Amino acid sequence: MIVAIVGVVGTLASAVITQVLAQRAEAQRSEREKLVRLAELQASEDQRKIDQLRSCYVQLNAQDRRYRDAMLAYAYALRSGSVGAEAEAEEVNVARRAQRDTRAEAQLVGSDAVLRIESRVNAQLTVAYRRLMNAADQPSSEARQTELNQVIKLLDAIIAQQGHVQALMRLEVGATQALPDWYNPEVGPPEHYQASA
């Protein structure tokens, strides 16, 4: 009788233990699948944010360059006395508005580090714009030519600042793993342009 009871209890216990182990294995499998799904969702969200940031940075970089190039073309047109200067002036206005709109978007999604050094580029573009418009309002003279030459130098100097912004942007979007040796987060506008602004 005892042997029969032990046999029946063993058989029943075996079934219960098997079921408990199966449920535990299923719960672990379900938990692993849940973790994988969460990781995939997080990776997808991270990629979406990187893509958004990349798109924003591409636009910001392109619009800063377009604005700079438009001002440079206008300065050269004024300096040479070109009859097409009005078209260049209109392109400056179009590029300025596009750059302003792009900066507004960047201020919502860009990192503080990129915005900090890009704001230096923007400050120099603003100084160049003011000086260019001032020169455009002057009658053709030696003083005007000197002012236009200074504007051209100022616009040329912005290229180095833009390089620093681009280097940081590339790092943030994963296009590179490290900043270049020449990168300097404190790069700023040349002092003689700041003083004369």
Q: What angle do CA 62, 106, 90 make, to 5 degrees?
A: 45
Locus of tokens 């700023």: 188
H helical segments located in 81-190: 85-109, 112-137, 142-172
- State the pLDDT at residue 89: 93
Q: What is the pLDDT of residues 7-48, one digit of tens each?
A: 777 787 788 888 888 999 999 999 999 999 999 999 999 999
Q: What is the pLDDT of residues 70-93, one digit of tens each?
A: 999 999 999 988 777 889 999 999
Query: What band does 196 get if pLDDT is binned at 50, 70 and 90?
Result: very low
Six-digit token string for 103: 């900066």
Q: Which residues contact 197 (CB under 8 A, 6 or more apart)?
A: 127, 130, 131
Which of 43 and 187 is assigned the larger pLDDT? 43
pTM here? 0.76
Name the 3-class secondary structure at 186. Answer: coil
- State the pLDDT at residue 141: 87
Q: What is the pLDDT of residues 46-75, one digit of tens each?
A: 999 999 999 999 999 999 999 999 999 999
Q: Taking a C-beta distance cutoff of 8 angstroms, is the pair 87, 121 a contact?
A: no
- State the pLDDT at residue 59: 96
Task: Inform me whether the pLDDT recorded for 99 exceeds 60.
Answer: yes
Task: Inform me whether the pLDDT recorded for 101 exceeds 80.
Answer: yes
Burial 154-190 (b: 16+ CB within 10 A, else e): bbeebeebbebbbbbbbbbbeeeeeeeeeeeeebebe
Containing structural domain, residue 94: 2-196
* Alpha carbon 191 to its chain's center: 26
Number of domains observed in the structure of the chain: 1
Other Cβ atoms closer than 10 A to 47: 11
Q: What is the pLDDT of residues 107-144, one digit of tens each?
A: 999 999 999 999 999 999 999 999 999 999 988 889 99
